[in-house]
Amino acid sequence: MVSERDMGRVNALLDELEGRHGVRILMAVESGSRAWGFASPDSDFDVRFVYQEPLDRMLRLFPGRDVIEQMTPYREDGTGVPIDLVGWSLPKTLRLAAASNPQLCEWAAGTITYRADPGFLERLRVLTAQSSPRVLAHHYRGLAKKTVCDYLSGPGEPRGKKYLYAVRSLLAANWMLDHPTPGAAPPVRFDRLRAQTRVAAPVDAAIQDLLDWKTALGEGEAHRRFPVLDRWIGSELIRLEQEVPRLPDPEVDREVAERALDALIFPTALTPVPAPEP
């Protein structure tokens, strides 16, 4: 979790971003290990946000980047763990929501929320409530496969957090198999996801061992091989390759995204005109 001091530091940085870039931040949440519930003492902050630009910039023929990125030390003197801030523009966010973007499903759930405009959050959740089970499951399996290829398949002892990334992704994909309903999304917190996903007892014991060991150590110290998890991860990637394509794949109503954009950038124009009094 994050403390009140952490909240204050992150929100101060968000205020600075708004002023520097001339935008309004509609929502900001914590992502990564702190939101998932298995942060180490020296874990980074992974702050993700959605911002709205002034209308004249949104309507440019040749718009600029639709992402804002900034890495800042926790303390103002340049020390402390990094705070990684990444934001998406409002149009980019709504386009991705209409494509069942899994990250936005997690952001909308927001286990750690720094700020949120109620109107925007409501509209985002209307979109994520239509998300495709197949898209989400495919995403989580793909994350696990990439983690294995990049960090777990080579010789030597991998970092513990990479195991947790792979395990969490596979649990999320399995959760989707058990909840194949449009709009369903895996719990963001790892403990809740684990409680709702069935695995064999030896695998569950290995996950607990990994979790206890990793959260007690610093990010740079946690290197170890977990053979039980290596075997489980490999077999799950093969099984999910067959199972995920069978999930339903509905399309999100793009008109809902269009209306959300209109309501957020033209709020006055879309306010109904009161009927004249008789």
> What is the DSSP track for 217-233?
S-TTT-B---HHHHHHH
Side-chain half-sphere exposure of 238, counting CA atoms within 13 A: 5
Burial 155-170, CB ≥16 within 10 A → b, else e: eeebbbbbbbbbbbbb
Closest CA to 45 of 54, 34, 61, 53: 34
At 276, is the pLDDT very low, low, confident or very high (cuts 50, 70, 90)? very low
> Is there a contact between 34 and 48 (Cβ–Cβ < 8 Å)?
no
Chain centroid to CA 182: how far?
Answer: 18
| 2-54 residue pLDDT tens | 899 999 999 999 999 999 999 999 999 999 899 999 888 788 999 999 999 99
| 168-210 residue pLDDT tens | 999 999 999 999 999 999 999 999 999 999 999 999 999 999 9
| 93-146 residue pLDDT tens | 999 999 999 999 999 998 899 999 999 999 999 999 999 999 999 999 999 999
Give the contacts of 273 (CB within 8 A, at least 6 positions apart): none
Q: Which CATH superfamily is domain 4-131 in?
A: Beta Polymerase, domain 2 (3.30.460.10)
Model confidence, pTM: 0.91
Indicate the domain borders of the chain. 4-131, 133-246
In this predicted structure, the answer to whether residue 278 has a pLDDT above a threshold of 60 is no
| 137-160 residue pLDDT tens | 999 999 999 999 999 998 888 888
